[in-house]
Amino acid sequence: MYHIALLGDSIFDNAAYVPGQPDVIQQVRARIPTNWSVSLLARDGAVTREVRNQLRNLPSDTSNIVISVGGNDALNAAHVLFDSVRSVAEALVKLSAVQEKFATEYRAMLDAVMERQLPTAICLIYDGYADSEMQQRVNTTALSMFNDVMTREAFRRGLPVIDLRLVCGEPDDYANPIEPSSKGGEKIAAAIVNVATRNSTVPKSLVYTC
């Protein structure tokens, strides 16, 4: 018997954004083998530090953990994009402070997860689908510094990575600029099942794009 636990935010807990359509947890259940189960511990609006609280509700028979978190940390830090600076270098220094704070929280979260000694995979933050090309460029560039933290910490621990930037690459993969649609959720579910059914107890970093 295998049991996948989904931790994190609304990338997995997207029911509110796809009314009348299958959400991610339903789509995972439809794809997993008959002897597997899945639990949704992720909560819409959660930030990285809250994953440690979600761990407290981890089912006792959990065999695999998949985490998607960080997008709300980025949203909460977005105000820095509107700060006035005198040079690009000064802007980069401000952004590096945001990145360092996130790295500290993400590292602590992964350390807590690794204490469970279970096969674990992490998701990168996708680029979303902004209303304008300019906003899309800003979002993609800013999110890259969060994703850099995630890849470094995942590779340091030998964890597989689901790159949601490549999984959800079409406009209709999104129900709004930042939430997955049912179509996008189906792609995310496929990636979750792919990584969970292949991920063994031996730490190994692989990047999954589907």
Give DSSP secondary structure letters for 19-82: TTS--HHHHHHHHS-TTEEEEE---TT--GGGHHHHGGG--TT--EEEEE--HHHHHHTGGGGG
Domain ranges, residue 177: 2-208
pLDDT below 50 — which residues of the chain? none
Quote the number of domains for the chain: 1
State pTM to two decimals.
0.93
pLDDT of residue 203: 59
Read off the pLDDT of residues 31-58 as tens digits, 9 standing for 90 and up. Answer: 999 999 999 999 999 999 999 999 999 9
CATH of the domain at 108: 3.40.50.1110
Q: Are 156 and 117 in contact (CB under 8 A)?
A: no
pLDDT of residue 85: 87
pLDDT of residue 199: 65
The C-alpha atoms of residue 46 and residue 51 are separated, in whole angstroms, by 8
